[in-house]
Amino acid sequence: MTRTATTYIKSHKQAARRTVLQSLKDRFDYGLNPEKLGAVSAYLCDPKTAHLEFMLVKSQYQAETNRAAEHGALCYQIRQAFPQGEITPEEANKIGYETAMRWTKGKYQFFVCTHIDKGHIHNHIYYNSTAHDCSRKYRNFLGSTFALRRLSDRICLEHDLSIIQNPKLHSKGKFLHYGQWLGADRRPSQKEQLRTIIDTALAQRPADVPSFLSMLEAAGVQVIHGRGGVLSFKLPGYDRPARWRSSTLGAGYGPEDVEDIISGKAPARPAPIEGGPAPRQKINLVIDIQQRMAQGKGAGYERWAKLYNLKQMAAALQFLQENGLTDYDALAEKTETAVDRAHALAGELRAVEDRLARTSELMGAVVDYAKTRPVFDGYKTARYSKKYLAEHGEELDTYRAAKASINELLGGAKLPRMEKLKQERRELAEKKKALRAEYRQAQQDMRELVAVKGNVDHLLGVAGREDKEQAR
């Protein structure tokens, strides 16, 4: 069993002072780095020459549609991660390939790079922004991150893999990264490990800073002396050292803080207690939360309080009481409903925006066509004279472009009257405005529920939820 997390979809554009081809190659070289790579697979391209093959499709698209393919996103990247030791690189790569295939519906080139250089196995999935048949370009849409995560979760459930339930949100509405999602199950970061080692060393009451540094080295920390007397710490398995300063390691862990503790000016922190997390238990929401909050400053409470502010939990408790959510299943169902509603509204809003853009484009093409049609008629009357063409070349180009746009947008259908197009645009604009307001409210409701459930899950340590999710 493993957990997965799809963080987000990242668009890659042309880098400054780099050509389009160089920009693509730079991105792909990172994914194909042999020091990181554990497995690789591809669809409709060779990973080693993917930058060239992506550009070939883009060139064909531009030749067929007369639209610049290098504008906007050149390609997109999906990141998908797995905990260390719970899945092989080959299995992770297969999951990534299936995710990419179902996300792109087989219309876009892609390749999957599985990296094994970090504390967890993870995929970098790159797919072309231009369809392989040159029929379209991929456009990211509102709620794409949610849709992708749901797809990734569905695929993992189909392969008997457990999933991370609702990701937790920052206060500003941004999702926490994969390591933060895992909570107590994730591998501690280098900075977290360094803070633990520092606390352990200080608890042994070193006589001075050199003795303190010797204790760190004995614990496996590489102490790096830089220019100007700046010290950095690095643990085995990590590429980059962390500078010894409070802005890097955290408040209370800078050189001045350590010196104050050694000299007795500040109290030493207690040495970390080894051992795994407390066993999970089932919940009866409001009662259990109140009991946990009333327990006082116990060890479990203090560990939780480092991650979540007491005010956040109080707000969660108030929300549960006001909404009559007295059991976990009710909260989970309400959260799932809110997420589904936000997804549906996002798709509906995107469809209306596309229709509105198409109608506006058609109206503009009709206006240009009407203005330049007399010029084209004059060109025919002049028996396609070169002199007439030289005098009216710009107007004739506008006429051809407008006619081509009309034919493309209508797809053989009859051209509506301008009044009907204006009415349709007004209706679509009103619908877009109403949907946007509805979507914003739905998004707010979803974020609130996701945040509340995330806090409840972390505080109470829900047991058996993975089995329930797989049974659905």
Task: Let me know: does 196 contact 203? Beta carbons within 8 Å.
Answer: no
Domains of the chain: 5-184 (3.30.930), 190-263 (no CATH), 281-472 (no CATH)
Interaxial angle between packed helices 255-263 and 190-203, expressed in degrees from 0 to 180 and rounded to the nearest 10: 20
Q: Which residues of the chain have pLDDT under 50?
A: 1-3, 165-186, 274-284, 286-287, 293, 297, 304, 306-309, 462-472
- In terms of Cβ atoms closer than 10 Å to its own Cβ (0-12, 13-18, 19+), residue 114 is buried
Q: Distance between CA atoms of 273 and 264, rounded to whole angstroms?
A: 23
State residue 317's pLDDT score: 67
Residue at token pair 């829900």: 462
State residue 13's pLDDT score: 82
Closest CA to 237 of 124, 122, 123, 116: 116
Residue at token pair 């999957």: 112
**Which residues make beta-bridge pairs with 169?**
175
Does the CA dihedral 435-437-442-443 come out positive or negative? positive
Residue 370: C-alpha distances to residues 226, 398, 410, 423, 468 (Å): 72, 11, 16, 19, 63
Sheet containing strand 222-225, edge to edge, reads 222-225, 231-234, 242-243
Closest CA to 184 of 305, 290, 278: 278
For the stretch 168-226, pLDDT in tens is 444 444 444 444 444 444 456 788 889 888 988 888 888 999 999 988 988 889 999 88
CB atoms within 10 A of CB 97: 21
